[in-house]
Structure 1
């Protein structure tokens, strides 16, 4: 679907205004009440039907029903911001201190609204229904689960989405079938010893020394227990223990994350970590309490959509590149557990990576993304029928 230069320019201006308004008013995960009102208002002003799901307190679901019968597919955008103090110096920087759209979800939201506006004008070409999911709570890996539990994925045959990619130029779309983003899990380990006087350590069981050795030992779980052909990371990101400089504490807590691309590695790692930590602790007379919190699976793109996802880009004159994998996580994967789906990188010519306080992007990508996803939706429904 090639839109005229005039229409493209008008759309671009509208989407820039939306994106900047969202950027000025960021809201954290599952608190996106005003963001929800704004999205709903913009859709209703354009006569795009919003579908109410009583269990969904934040987030917006909308649908465009084509003039011809067919299946339902979904296009998804996330809407939440991060607890980061903005340092961009932009005239439309966050007006809420300590909160910022530092991952570009304002861009995702505005560009998917743009796709909805374009599809509304092409209803006659739609052989089915396109459901738009403006999802809350991606940053805490909870929003997609909320959407699914609310029933907003019911009846959907396939789902498509994207994330902005600062290191790709505007007009570039990253495509990769199979695993794209890693599964994400969290762990906590309490190392329990016996506290005492720092000057008489022989009367104590020092959990700090034990915890330090466990941190080092956890790295061997990957290097010596997981196949070198697999991709996995164990990161300890928090160590907490002790209350004074001269007191050995009785407990140290370790917290961190595990990222994997292979399900067999994901299933094996918790027991390997627990066994290693127990062994080290026992050697020093301590004990552990190991807790594992599964979060989200990996983003795994369905191979049957690779060709059409690529064709949709090249037909519009955009450049396709192979999307590089990342051990970052994305709860788009929760939808892919329910229905087949595909997730792409959208080039935005940014100067900083995700979650940086000076994160920004080239807004020319807004119309590119809107044009791409509206065209993709039409193509997918055409081929489906």
Structure 2
């Protein structure tokens, strides 16, 4: 069986049996079996899900990382190998990422005797809920590792395209929940209450003006209210409405400015309406900041292996690969997957033609990086 045929078969099996963050038990078992059958050594870290393997010998060491979890989405891609798990789908392409790094591991194993060091392979669980990287780091997987590399497929780029950048790349991710508490009343007698729905509506409008009116237009920032929940019948003004949303930034100063402004606006509305507004912030991953040297190096290797390389634009998505880069240098890269539907869409369908070239790229990147630590 050719490498490409094997990798596509593995990818399709992973795609058919997706598992949510922290529940990747069967995925872990598959990876352990495939790696063991290839003669690749597994490291005995204390992990409920996820796999860590190692190839080579010597003091120099770098790491390659893939994420293995899926999303709570009902698949509508129409492919013959669609998810067999109701309500769960690899809608972000982690099955692709896993297969790419599996392919790199197979090639590195084939030339293990000539490797100028060791390559640690991280198959990380729970990327989607931003907990997996911290879990692996606590287990000790970065010990003696000098640099780390990872990827995300990019549906907006054609197959054969590659992009990355030094410095900030992916965004700080913050989730917020705002609880607006007024005074319930009969819908025909609104003057007897404090209308939490009216207040919430005006608050949403005001919050969406923060990014355009309180932040320098040259700074990247997105603030989105994504959920509104209030009321349960047609003739009652509810006492409470809950808003939820996300803030995305690349600079800590901008992040803090926007958070402070949201608090000020909420306090002003609460005073004006004689209501109570409570805000809770939940921190996701911090901004992903690529090492300038390794980003340049990764681009150079991509060009050598036949990719059309380009300088990546700032990405407003979150990625917990950022946590690794807070501990050791490295680079995260985008590889074109040419899907007509974007990430997290139920019809997401990346082009499998990207898999084998990307696997060969990461094997070469690891080999050459070991010579430049």
TM-score normalised by L of structure 1: 0.94
2:173 aligned residue: 184
Q: Is 1:26 the counterpart of 2:15 in the alignment?
A: no
1:63 aligned residue: 54
Q: Is 1:269 the counterpart of 2:263 in the alignment?
A: no
Query: Please, which of 262, 271, 274 is the counterpart of residue 285 of structure 1?
Result: 274
Query: Please, which of 89, 102, 106 is the counterpart of residue 100 of structure 1?
Result: 89
- The CA deviation string for residues 87-144 of structure 1, in whole angstroms up to 9 with x for no partner, is 2222211111221111111111011011001111122332221111111111111211
1:365 aligned residue: 354
In the alignment, the residues of structure 1 paired with residue 187 and residue 240 of structure 2 have an alpha-carbon distance, to the nearest angstrom, of 14
Structure 2 gaps of 5+ residues are none
Contact map agreement 1:125 1:378 (CA 8 A) in 2: no
1:3 aligned residue: none
TM-fit CA distance, 1:178 = 1.6
Q: Is 1:77 the counterpart of 2:66 in the alignment?
A: yes
2:7 aligned residue: 15
2:78 aligned residue: 89
1:6 aligned residue: none
In the alignment, the residues of structure 1 paired with residue 296 and residue 229 of structure 2 have an alpha-carbon distance, to the nearest angstrom, of 49
2:326 aligned residue: 337
In the alignment, the residues of structure 1 paired with residue 170 and residue 309 of structure 2 have an alpha-carbon distance, to the nearest angstrom, of 18
Contact map agreement 1:214 1:277 (CA 8 A) in 2: yes
Q: Is 1:49 the counterpart of 2:41 in the alignment?
A: yes
In the alignment, the residues of structure 2 paired with residue 227 and residue 109 of structure 1 have an alpha-carbon distance, to the nearest angstrom, of 39
What secondary structure, in the 3-state scheme, does the structure 2 residue paired with 1:296 have?
Answer: coil
In the alignment, the residues of structure 1 paired with residue 66 and residue 275 of structure 2 have an alpha-carbon distance, to the nearest angstrom, of 47
Of the structure 1 ranges 215-224 and 10-19, higher mean CA displacement relative to structure 2 is found in: 215-224
In the alignment, the residues of structure 1 paired with residue 176 and residue 74 of structure 2 have an alpha-carbon distance, to the nearest angstrom, of 27
In the alignment, the residues of structure 2 paired with residue 223 and residue 94 of structure 1 have an alpha-carbon distance, to the nearest angstrom, of 41
Contact map agreement 1:219 1:234 (CA 8 A) in 2: yes
Instruction: Map 1:200-219; keep pairs closer than 5 Å.
Output: 200-219=189-208
In the alignment, the residues of structure 2 paired with residue 381 and residue 22 of structure 1 have an alpha-carbon distance, to the nearest angstrom, of 30
Structure 1 gaps of 5+ residues are 1-8
Q: Is 1:247 the counterpart of 2:239 in the alignment?
A: no
TM-fit CA distance, 1:353 = 1.0
In the alignment, the residues of structure 2 paired with residue 147 and residue 43 of structure 1 have an alpha-carbon distance, to the nearest angstrom, of 19
In the alignment, the residues of structure 1 paired with residue 80 and residue 279 of structure 2 have an alpha-carbon distance, to the nearest angstrom, of 48
Of the structure 1 ranges 167-176 and 39-48, higher mean CA displacement relative to structure 2 is found in: 167-176
TM-score normalised by L of structure 2: 0.97
In the alignment, the residues of structure 1 paired with residue 88 and residue 215 of structure 2 have an alpha-carbon distance, to the nearest angstrom, of 39
Contact map agreement 1:70 1:381 (CA 8 A) in 2: no
What secondary structure, in the 3-state scheme, does the structure 2 residue paired with 1:76 have?
Answer: strand
In the alignment, the residues of structure 2 paired with residue 17 and residue 251 of structure 1 have an alpha-carbon distance, to the nearest angstrom, of 51
Q: CA-atom RMSD, angstroms?
A: 1.3
What secondary structure, in the 3-state scheme, does the structure 2 residue paired with 1:257 have?
Answer: strand
Contact map agreement 2:181 2:241 (CA 8 A) in 1: yes
In the alignment, the residues of structure 2 paired with residue 273 and residue 147 of structure 1 have an alpha-carbon distance, to the nearest angstrom, of 34
1:316 aligned residue: 305
1:38 aligned residue: 30
Contact map agreement 1:126 1:382 (CA 8 A) in 2: no
1:158 aligned residue: 147
Q: Is 1:381 the counterpart of 2:370 in the alignment?
A: yes
What secondary structure, in the 3-state scheme, does the structure 1 residue paired with 2:284 have?
Answer: strand
Contact map agreement 1:27 1:35 (CA 8 A) in 2: yes
1:226 aligned residue: 215
TM-fit CA distance, 1:343 = 0.7
How many residues end up aligned between the 2 structures? 373
